[in-house]
């Protein structure tokens, strides 16, 4: 069944006229303009309901669709409402560090449009948890006020999608400061300050641009870290919804033994999910032939597709084997460190997102794809994804998750 494009689809299509302009700007300047536009409401607002087949419940939260925006785009929670309004099922802000830091020297973002990729070495540039907490607190208060007004003026009961920041789900990605000698303390501080505003939390230990960070993916280091963060979260007072789920974001540059160790920790500590994967320090073909590939930093985009998909499948199998008895709720997310969209030579589609779901992803995040494709990409992916699910005879997202691993 083809998904019909409704009346406000022209607004999203119109953004395709603007996208080429951003390609002429410095990547970081273009990024800054995009965040500002979303923060000020200068972007389309999706008024069409998502196809019902895309709806799902994860961690007791209702997602209207499984397509989200990864951390790194809205680092400081400036544009949550505008980004959710584009039609994302969820938006993840951050990475947020306890103390403000500038990150690495500029230039630190490099486009590879022919390969459909980006290299960045930003290094957790962040305004810090205090600034982010103020923004999220204001958004949370506005949300509660709107809910109160809506409840008092409506007599009909309906299932509402969304979380603490608006019509979609909000994730908060936590990082550590570059000069910090106690990584666990940094993440714990982030939990204490920001978890009250989050529908889920992410421990980012896989950025290649912070010295020593990836060492936290070792079995003992990860186990110790997760225990401390879980304890910090659980010692806080929570309402009926309970504490926000805790996820760990891992790198694609891991050995089989590394993956087995991470899976073992995830199951033993009943971790709520994994984000697979962050950017890679490798330079797979055809990127290796591009002079820009010599720039240090993490590579995201199309060239990372196969590597990321293979790790996703491996982790799905490793955590799914004992999932029912060990935790019962290990949700695997996949981050678009592996995809990109170029209006000239590469195209990200709902079929591509569907491949990730069949490989084991419950939810799919975009970043590089969104940077190249802009707002018009979101309704396109959702419509095509719904068609893929129906085409293969699945009745829901759940049925398709991990289909290629069975």
Q: Are 230 and 327 contacting, i.e. CB atoms less than 8 angstroms apart?
A: no
Told to judge if 207 belongs to the known catalytic residues of this protein, a careful annotator would answer yes
Q: Are 172 and 93 contacting, i.e. CB atoms less than 8 angstroms apart?
A: yes
Which position among 95, 180, 207, 342 bears the catalytic label? 207
Burial class (CB in 10 A: 0-12, 13-18, 19+), 351: middle
Torsion of CA 357, 359, 364, 366, to 10 degrees: -130
Q: Are 279 and 300 contacting, i.e. CB atoms less than 8 angstroms apart?
A: yes
> Which residue from 244, 257, 243, 225 is spatially nearest to 169, judged by alpha carbons?
244
> Which residue from 141, 60, 50 is spatially nearest to 382, judged by alpha carbons?
50
C-alpha dihedral sign at 96, 100, 104, 106: positive
Cis peptide leading into 11, omega within 30 of 0?
Answer: no
Sheet holding 117-120, edge to edge: 109-112, 117-120, 298-301
**What DSSP string runs through 109-139?**
EEEETTTTEEEE-----B--HHHHHHHHHHH
Which residues, 6 or more positions from 355, have their beta carbon under 8 angstroms from its beta carbon?
Answer: 309
Which residues, 6 or more positions from 184, have their beta carbon under 8 angstroms from its beta carbon?
Answer: 224, 225, 228, 229
Centre a 10 Å sphere on the Cβ of residue 138 and count the other Cβ atoms it contains.
12
List phi, psi (to 5°) of 379. Answer: -65, -30
User: Where in the sequence numbering do the catalytic residues fall?
Assistant: 207
């Amino acid at each position: 069944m083809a998904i019909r494009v409704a009346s406000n689809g022209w607004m999203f299509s119109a953004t395709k006229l603007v996208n080429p302009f951003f390609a002429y700007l410095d990547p970081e300047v273009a990024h800054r303009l995009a965040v500002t536009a979303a923060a000020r409401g200068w972007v389309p607002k999706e008024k069409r309901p998502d196809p019902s087949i895309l709806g799902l419940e994860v961690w007791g939260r209702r997602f209207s669709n499984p397509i989200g925006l990864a951390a790194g785009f809205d680092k400081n929670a400036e544009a949550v409402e505008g980004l959710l309004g584009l039609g994302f099922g969820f938006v993840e802000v951050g990475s947020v560090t306890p103390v403000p830091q500038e990150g690495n020297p500029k230039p630190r973002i490099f486009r590879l449009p022919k390969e459909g990729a980006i290299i960045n070495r930003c290094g957790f540039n962040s305004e810090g948890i205090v600034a982010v907490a103020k923004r999220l607190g204001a958004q949370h208060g506005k949300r509660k006020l709107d809910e109160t007004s809506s409840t008092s003026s409506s007599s009909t009961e309906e299932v509402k999608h969304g979380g603490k920041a608006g019509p979609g789900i909000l994730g908060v990605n936590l990082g550590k400061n570059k000069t910090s000698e106690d990584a666990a303390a940094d993440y714990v501080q982030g939990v204490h300050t920001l978890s009250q505003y989050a529908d889920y939390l992410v421990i980012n230990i896989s950025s290649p641009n912070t010295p020593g960070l990836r060492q936290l993916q070792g079995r003992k280091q990860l186990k110790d870290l997760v225990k401390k963060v879980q304890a910090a979260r659980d010692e806080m007072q929570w309402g009926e919804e309970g504490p926000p789920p805790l996820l760990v974001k891992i790198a694609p540059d891991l050995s089989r033994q590394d993956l087995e160790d991470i899976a073992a920790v995830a199951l033993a500590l009943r971790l709520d999910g994994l984000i697979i994967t962050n950017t890679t320090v490798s330079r797979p073909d055809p990127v290796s032939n591009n002079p820009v590939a010599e720039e240090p930093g993490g590579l995201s985009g199309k060239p990372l597709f196969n590597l990321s998909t293979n790790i996703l499948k491996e982790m799905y199998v490793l955590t799914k084997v004992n999932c029912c008895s060990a935790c019962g709720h290990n949700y695997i997310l996949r981050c678009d460190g592996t995809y990109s969209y170029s209006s000239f030579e590469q195209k990200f589609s709902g079929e591509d997102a569907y491949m990730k779901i069949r490989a084991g992803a419950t939810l799919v995040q975009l970043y590089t794809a969104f940077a190249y494709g802009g707002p018009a990409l979101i309704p396109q992916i959702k419509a095509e994804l719904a068609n893929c699910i129906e085409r293969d005879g699945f009745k829901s997202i759940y049925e398709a998750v991990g289909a290629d691993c069975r």
